Amino acid sequence: MQIRDRALGALTGLALGDALGMPTQSMSREAIRRHYGPVRSLVDAVSAQPISPGLPAGTVTDDTEQALLVAELLIDGGGRIDPKAFARALLDWEADMIRRELADLLGPSTKRALELLESGVDPEEAGRTGTTNGAAMRITPVAIATPPDLDGLLDAVVDASKLTHNTSLGIAAAAAVAAAVSAGLEGADASTALDHAEDAAAAGARRGHWSAGGDIAARIRWARRWVRGMDPDTLADAVCDVIGTSVASQESVVAAFALAEALGDRPVQALTLAAELGGDTDTVAAICGAVLGAQHGLSGLPVDLTTTVREVNGLDLDPVADGLLQLRSTRPGTFQWRRRP
């Protein structure tokens, strides 16, 4: 499989997961069952949807839109993201959401960081309280643009995350996602890519300001071992009731990796199950979709679903993937996989 197919798979998988989770985001598991029943495909959002009422099936949310914003800034900046340009772009994005009368606005960590930046706080300090999943949900373009060599990848993750999530939890979560996606692009098998995510999370936790909370690497490692061999119903209970699906990085990001571990060979089932769990369903599914998309490639995702998502949102991901891969080609890596027993 060509690296371009994997890059397109990561971006498309992110968008597909996001769109599958759009109708159920911020709803309880019980409310999802009542309004939708089992989620098996892309569906319209019901009027009771608290964030995106009435949006048509296949519509993406902030996860995809902010990831593409990061991609544009990376490509225009030659691989670097200017903090002030990033802040302006995020504020402009939120203003557009308000004009569209949507409630899918900036998350709590990002909002707080931009308020601090506007008040004169240094960009290095603005994100010192950001522990939620915002950096992780939009990190996939960084992963595509950067080889999996750990030091270089972590530098790129920190550079893209520190404005809003300059904490041990925020960076560890984003690093885990970036490592899994970047390793997948290089052809690492699923187990090796997820092992690399654990290593990146452990190293990422040493970057940024320390923040209290369950260690991301330790929780991913525990969750992967725990969910292996679970049937889908047991898996859903485990992720929803024990791991958690809130915006906290140590819940939703770990949930995405648990689904990728248990259902890695069945990407659509992993993403539809994510959409049924309640909580931050769009982000859990988007992260899981990016990781599995890098594994399976665009050619391994269902054409009917990806075509709908592309057409509903007017997405043209080919030039995005090409621009990010061009950046990747200028950053040669010498990484050797550390295979675990």
Poorest-confidence range of 93-107, 156-170, 192-206, 278-292? 93-107
Does the annotation place 151 within a ligand binding site? Answer: no
**Statement: residue 91 has pLDDT above 90:** no
**Statement: residue 315 has pLDDT above 80:** yes
| Any domain includes 274 | yes
Q: What is the pLDDT of residues 167-219, one digit of tens each?
A: 999 999 999 999 999 999 999 999 999 999 999 999 999 998 999 999 999 99
| Any domain includes 193 | yes
| Any domain includes 338 | no
In CATH, what number is assigned to the domain containing residue 107?
Answer: 1.10.4080.10
| Any domain includes 243 | yes
**Statement: residue 143 has pLDDT above 90:** yes
Does the annotation place 62 within a ligand binding site? Answer: yes
Cα(253)–Cα(187) distance, rounded to whole angstroms? 22
Does the annotation place 92 within a ligand binding site? Answer: no
Does the annotation place 76 within a ligand binding site? Answer: no
Helix/strand/coil for 279: strand
- Specify the higher pLDDT residue, 298 or 121: 298
| Any domain includes 339 | no
Phi-psi region of 297 (alpha: psi -120 to 50; beta: other; left: phi over 0): left
| Any domain includes 303 | yes
Q: What is the pLDDT of residues 65-81, one digit of tens each?
A: 999 999 999 999 999 98
Cα(321)–Cα(158) distance, rounded to whole angstroms? 21
Tell me how many domains the chain contains. Answer: 1
Q: Which amino acid type is present at position 313?
A: N
| Any domain includes 334 | no
Q: What is the pLDDT of residues 23-42, one digit of tens each?
A: 999 999 999 999 999 999 99
Does the annotation place 283 within a ligand binding site? Answer: yes
Is 0.85 topped by the overall pTM? yes
**Statement: residue 109 has pLDDT above 80:** no
For 136, the domain range is 3-329
Inter-residue contact 305 to 124 (CB < 8 Å)? no
Q: Which two tokens stand for residue 266?
A: 């069945």
| Any domain includes 177 | yes
